[in-house]
A = this chain, B = another copy of it.
């Protein structure tokens, strides 16, 4: 962290000094502080010299490569605000909505039910990443407009996925939070672009990514001066085929120790199976997740994507009731 009174000139000299030592220094505007970040801890002799510049106010040594994401850098839990929802607070955040936005009626029906049952946010896919080029790819801006309409109607902030850097502005125009999907967790140009947007970002775990790699992906967003990052565990790929992926719930308490960033869990994509969503949602809350992201559809069997893993409205209603009493035991409210 740099001192407030440090002049730009002296700051530039400090940067030059560090870069001559291959410390790849850069400044980052972090909330209302100016940070000076290097790629590794300076040597003790360099530190003495660095002190002479008089720009450093507090020095943070981080053992983790994801410096800004680490608990060593920020001890207090981050709360990421999306509209009036504080992700990471005592409130258990429920994000609900269909896999894909399919029609005005479908979306508004889910949105109103979600609002009515106490959900915090609305999800819905406008741009869908699909394994095959021949599968339904989402309704794009038309879907974005419907999401904005649903938000206006219900007051629920809206989250949707963005697939490429050139689309960030378009999605940001309609949505309240940008989602970076599992396949794009290491799409570094996309991470930089959502970082620059300063919008709240939900970063899903890649299905082949370690927790360390995931935090470093988050760091790509943070280092652009965007502190509004929420992580979302959604299952990893293993040899077991009874479920689509293996939900790694131990990631929740491990991340709690490593990082100050909030953590959600998505049991829909993790399991790929309607019957498993409720037990895994409850397990995630008990493991300490800050919230749950669930796919809900008025008529799952006729959904255009992921029909096997979306709850219908009755199932969702039942789950919300169960989560309410569970949240109380965990010292949270819905």
Contacts and interface: CB of A to CB of B under 8 A. Distances in A.
Nearest to A287: B283
Contact of A246 (B65, B246, B288): B246
A216 B37 CA distance: 41
A313 B165 CA distance: 40
A207 interface: yes
A67 to B, nearest CB: 8
Interface string A259-293: 00000000000110001100110111111100000
A189 B164 contact: yes
Chain A interface size, under 10 / 10 to 19 / 20 to 34 / 35 or more: 35 or more
B275 A134 contact: no
A247 interface: yes
A242 interface: yes
A131 B213 CA distance: 6
A219 interface: yes
A251 interface: yes
A90 interface: no
A233 to B, nearest CB: 11
A285 to B, nearest CB: 7
Interface stretch (A78-86, A143-151, A179-187): A179-187
